[in-house]
Amino acid sequence: MTAPSLWFERKFTFDIPVERAPTVLERLRGTPARIEERTGSLAPDVLTRRTGEHWSVQEQVGHLLDLEDLWYDRLDDFDAGGATLRPADLKNRRTHDANHNARALADLLREFRAARSRFIARLDAYPADAWSRTALHPRLQQPMRLIDHAFFVAEHDDHHMALISWLLKQS
């Protein structure tokens, strides 16, 4: 099996019905548990091993944590009615500079769960009509509704979960 395709090569059609918001929320809510289940019993040398140019399993987890601030802050963009969502750092400097392999996995998992809970709590509080709010995604250059943003985050989670699974098969 080859590595999952690069995230930046993905194309999206943002056409998920707003009525599917509860399903997308459950997907987002489940990511911390899936990561914990997949990584919690792994030895440190397996967690921190790099394969080629790919981040290690532990760096994949750290990257998901690193992006939680962006996902949350983009909710501010939707709330403010801005035309464009704030951009991501496409070079992922935060992850490259973080040295996640030097940290305890348990700390990364705990921090990710807390950050994701904060994101979910905010999404849970939105009234039904908020899920149709729209702003331009800066990299994709296409309109994205709040429901699409939540779906995008869930897809990003799954992309990195697939990378983790692929990395573990390389061991």
Q: What is the pLDDT of residue 73?
A: 98
State the residue range of the domain holding 149. 7-12+20-170
Name the domain count of the chain.
1
Domain contains 1: no
Q: What is the pLDDT of residue 1?
A: 62
Domain contains 33: yes
Distance between CA atoms of residues 3 and 151, nearest Å: 22
pLDDT per position as a tens digit, 12-53: 999 999 999 999 999 999 999 999 999 999 999 999 999 988
Domain contains 2: no
Q: Which pTM does this prediction carry?
A: 0.95
Domain contains 45: yes
Domain contains 80: yes
88 neighbors 139 (Cβ within 8 angstroms): yes
Residue 134 belongs to domain with CATH number: 1.20.120.450
Percent of the chain scoring above 90 in pLDDT: 88
Domain contains 81: yes
